[in-house]
Structure 1
Amino acid sequence: MLEPAKRYTGYTAYDYLEPGVDFREFTYAKQVGRVPAYEGLDLTTEQQERTQRLLTNEVVISLHDHVQVFPEDMGQLRDHIRQGREPTGYEGLSRSGITAVFDNGMDGTCCISSDAGWKYQDVLFDLGVRMADLAHQDFVIKAETVADIEYAAETGRIAHVFALEAATMIENEVERLDVLYGFGVRQMGIAYSEANTLGSGLKERGDGGLTYFGERAVRRMNQLGIAIDVSHSGDQTCLDVAAASTKPIFITHAGARGLWPTNRMKTDATIKAVAEKGGVIGIEAAPHTTLSPDHPLHSLESVMDHFRYCVDLVGIEHVSFGPDTLFGDHVGLHHAFASNLSIGQAHGHVDYTEVPYVDGLENPAEEFTNIIGWLVAHDYSDDEIRMVVGGNTMRVLKEVWV
């Protein structure tokens, strides 16, 4: 694992406030070393050096992560969330080698005023509080443009892009997209598993596709410069969004249903439609998603099976990584919020063996060290690695963002 970035000064979330007075204290999960280090890569000294060079020198972008730190005791999770002050994992990020991260927050479980999540006022509170914290340090910077990502790369910082997994909170108010853009949101999903006013989520029994209001929202996102994500949308809705958007779109975090037959994975038709639009699929690694027949216990190897499948399907220029990790017990989060996250409906009736964590891709601090190490071990060229760890995403952002 990398040493902390030189620019990182040791800041921890909400250092400018007094714990126990201004906010409730919790004991948080370790950002480094919570689980044993991955031992599945047997790299030579030369391969290790090449991995570190690429991680250090190239633009590395996580297309989808959750960089908050969760309580060590997940039984305290709802109390922690209700105070609306989730901490960014600065220490872990300082060891990640990431240049830019699309942080999708936890607004499906943002239960400040309602256990159902996705309430507009709660989302704005969550965004505003976390932006206030970012503003009190100078290592992780709020990023809204391609120039911000380039600046982070040049100066040894991390560009933090605010993103949302669904547009559910806009209800039937398209102007709320303008407000969220003004807050700094630069990437947004259409639906999070459940249907909303824009279209269908992937868990629903039927998929009526993108609604007329959804078409208006897609048009406004294109006009504003909000990158569109269809990771949790239903199959027909995905295809409709790809057709309606005038700009490339993302599948920020998913895998291939042709390899693992659950609704959480994307069909070949959807992956192809996104690629034909010029977009990118980010291969994900949230627990028990990107499994494969060859690697049914979720690990780096099963995730990379999906990477290879998608590269073979649409070409390496349309594939990247959205690992979808966090700092803490991700499986415990799924158990605590199974109904909010639609875990059961998303997986359908496919059986799998539960693992306590995804070996090799457990958190944002380690993910790209192991991804790049795997790519090096499997003889991908430097140019190919540059494309999939950041270059493909940058190409799309240069077209989508204004």
Structure 2
Amino acid sequence: MFQSAKRYTGYRSYSYLQEGRDYRSFDLAREVERVPAYSGTDLSVSETDRVKRLVDESIVVSTHDHPTRFPDEIAETIDYNRTGRHRTGYEGLARSGMTAVIDNFMDGTACVTSQSGWKWTDIIADLGLRFSDLAHQDFVIKAETVADIHEAKDSGRIALIPGLEASTPIENELDRIDILYGFGIRQLGIAYSEANTLGSGLKERGDGGLTVFGRRAVERMNRLGIVIDVSHSGDRTSLETIEHSDQPIMITHAGARGVWNTNRMKPDNVIKACAERGGVIGLEAAPHTTLSADHRLHSIESVMDHFVYCVDLVGIEHVAFGPDTLFGDHVGLHDLFAGALSLGEAHSGVEYERVPYVDGLENPAECFWNIVSWLVTHSYSDDEIRAVIGGNAMRVIEEVWI
């Protein structure tokens, strides 16, 4: 397995407290080698050296991941989430090759006080506890400025960019966007699968588009300097968000409906509209999402079918990667939260064959090594590879953040 030269010294989440006394103990999933390493890319010695060089020299940005450790017994996740103490996967991040990762925290699976998720109190607890842990170590930087990302690169550390997949917790309180910004949130989704006060999610049968309040929220995000995401928003809501925003937006983690025809994938007109306004689409790899007719068993090959399609559709300068991975049994997590995550509606009735994990893109520690390896063996240039693994995302971040 490739490893990155990072300055990680072994810190574990909340180790400034006593596990079992100050907070509940769980047996957690491994951060490396939880499943067999991907063996689908056969690299020569020169190609291996090129992969290492590109990752080590580039600013590598994941537009969407959840780099925390889940219980080894995934059924314990609800009890684990109720404590509010997700453990950051520091060791896995140190091996990942990433410079920066947009971390979307617990989001719709936050159940500190409610089984329904998205409660303001739960989100604040999630953010506060994670930030308290980050403050007690010096490997992961809580990134709030572009300078923080460059500092992480220059010092051999990781920049963690706080984000939320939906604005649902703000309810009808516009100033809560400012509060989230004050806490460090720098990327914010419009809606998850269910509609909220801003607009419609992909689960809804009818998409009413961006609401009046949603338009005001988009304006506030623009003024604050928050990257807007429409990955889980309905098609009309996505288009109207792109149109109303005076800054480029991101589709941080999705795929192309032209490759796999489900609601979870974005149609060509949304991808094109995003690109025309300077935005990017990050290709995701959450289990059973970015499938393709040519690769119906979900693997890196399925995801790269979406990559090739999007590059052909809007140009390589508008494509990135938001693998949407975590440390643990992602398929089991989907099964556990199937209702809240709206997986049935997202698949739109399209049949697919289940896999236990996405081969080649199973966790944050391996994704970008395997992505760069695939790009190297498929004859992409150094400049093209640097663009899609971080340069394109950085262009949007630099334009949007104040």
* Counterpart amino acid of residue 136 in structure 2: H
Match in the other structure for 2:151: 151
* Counterpart amino acid of residue 36 in structure 1: P
After TM superposition, the score normalised by the length of structure 1 is 0.99
1:261-272 aligned at under 5 Å gives the runs 261-272=261-272
Match in the other structure for 1:348: 348
4+ aligned runs moved over 4 Å, structure 1: none
Q: 1:2 offset after TM fit, Å?
A: 3.0
Per-residue CA deviation, residues 185-228 of structure 1 (Å, 9 max, x unaligned), is: 00010000100000000010000100000000000000000100
Distance 2:105 2:257 in 1: 26
Distance 1:274 1:171 in 2: 26
* Counterpart amino acid of residue 132 in structure 2: A
Per-residue CA deviation, residues 49-87 of structure 1 (Å, 9 max, x unaligned), is: 100111111100000000110000012111111111010
Contact kept, 8 Å, 2:3 with 2:97, in 1: the verdict is: no
1:1-400 aligned at under 5 Å gives the runs 1-3=1-3, 5-400=5-400
Distance 1:5 1:317 in 2: 28
Tell me the SS of whatever aligns to 1:372.
helix
Per-residue CA deviation, residues 274-294 of structure 1 (Å, 9 max, x unaligned), is: 001100000000000000000
* Counterpart amino acid of residue 302 in structure 1: S
Contact kept, 8 Å, 1:4 with 1:91, in 2: the verdict is: no
Contact kept, 8 Å, 2:4 with 2:97, in 1: the verdict is: no
Distance 2:345 2:120 in 1: 25
* Identical columns (%): 67
* Counterpart amino acid of residue 388 in structure 1: V
* Counterpart amino acid of residue 249 in structure 1: I
Q: 1:4 offset after TM fit, Å?
A: 5.9
Q: 1:107 offset after TM fit, Å?
A: 1.5
* Counterpart amino acid of residue 296 in structure 2: P
C-alpha RMSD of matched pairs (Å): 0.7
Distance 2:34 2:261 in 1: 31
Distance 1:21 1:399 in 2: 46
Q: 1:295 offset after TM fit, Å?
A: 0.3
Unmatched segments (≥5 aa) in structure 2: none
Per-residue CA deviation, residues 100-150 of structure 1 (Å, 9 max, x unaligned), is: 000011110000000000000110110010001001111111001111101
Tell me the SS of whatever aligns to 2:253.
strand
Tell me the SS of whatever aligns to 1:185.
coil
Distance 1:163 1:398 in 2: 16
Tell me the SS of whatever aligns to 1:199.
coil
* Counterpart amino acid of residue 202 in structure 2: L
Distance 2:399 2:241 in 1: 17
Distance 1:128 1:5 in 2: 29
Distance 1:5 1:320 in 2: 23
Tell me the SS of whatever aligns to 1:160.
strand
Distance change >3 Å, CA 132–CA 117, structure 1 → 2? same
Tell me the SS of whatever aligns to 2:186.
strand
* Counterpart amino acid of residue 328 in structure 1: G
* Counterpart amino acid of residue 345 in structure 2: Q
* Counterpart amino acid of residue 121 in structure 1: T
Distance 1:107 1:271 in 2: 24
Contact kept, 8 Å, 1:222 with 1:247, in 2: the verdict is: yes
Contact kept, 8 Å, 1:256 with 1:267, in 2: the verdict is: yes
* Counterpart amino acid of residue 397 in structure 1: I
Q: 1:6 offset after TM fit, Å?
A: 4.1
Q: 1:5 offset after TM fit, Å?
A: 3.8
Distance 1:105 1:148 in 2: 19
* Counterpart amino acid of residue 294 in structure 1: D
Tell me the SS of whatever aligns to 1:15.
coil
Distance 1:97 1:15 in 2: 24
Distance 1:291 1:78 in 2: 28
Distance 2:9 2:2 in 1: 16
Distance 2:345 2:26 in 1: 32
